Amino acid sequence: MNILTKVNFTSRVSSVLNKEVKQYGKQFMFDTKEDTSWSSDEGTPQWIILSFEEPQNITGFCFQFQGGFAGLKSEIIMFSSDGAHLHQEPFYPEDINSPQLFQIKDSARQKDCSKIKFVFESSTDLFGRIIVYNLQLLS
């Protein structure tokens, strides 16, 4: 179940392509439309931060990138409401258009997650751009 459709959260991103928020903004990762996306500007690292009003139990996540603009060396970092570091682990997306599911290795420790940061240290794009059509968090 995608918890982002049921809970209140805020999001921040490292950049938006040419600062054109109305066309490439972060909101398009969550609208479930196939023809909209968040597009980052050039450079590395790129990142996405999600903050929740109430702590959540996160067991996995799903990304749908645009092929040619996927994260390569990537990691998820999870924080508690007091800012304490709960969990950190790498994940390795493929350079494909299809949705990709990733399970958190130790989900028992993720019951009090108030903030998640996805970091993309590198990209399949030579300029470091990332394009995400859909992001889901699973519980």
Taking CA atoms, 44 is separated from 17, 57, 123, 124, 125, in Å, by 13, 29, 8, 11, 11
Beta strand ranges found along 57-112 (DSSP E) = 60-65, 74-79, 85-91, 100-103
Query: Which amino acid is residue 94, in one-letter code?
Result: E
| pLDDT at residue 100, rounded to an integer | 98
| Contact criterion met (CB below 8 Å) for 35 and 117 | no
Mean pLDDT of the chain: 94
CATH for the stretch 3-138 = 2.60.120.260
Instruction: Quote the pTM value.
Output: 0.95
| pLDDT at residue 71, rounded to an integer | 96
Distance CA 60, CA 62 (A): 7
- Minimal CA–CA distance to 21: which of 46, 40, 2? 40
Burial 80-93 (b: 16+ CB within 10 A, else e): beeeeebbeeebeb
**Res. 99: pLDDT tops 90:** yes
Domain ranges, ordered by start, for the chain = 3-138
| pLDDT at residue 109, rounded to an integer | 58
- Express each pLDDT in 102-119 by its tens digit: 999 875 556 789 999 999
- Express each pLDDT in 2-17 by its tens digit: 999 999 999 999 999 9
| pLDDT at residue 108, rounded to an integer | 54
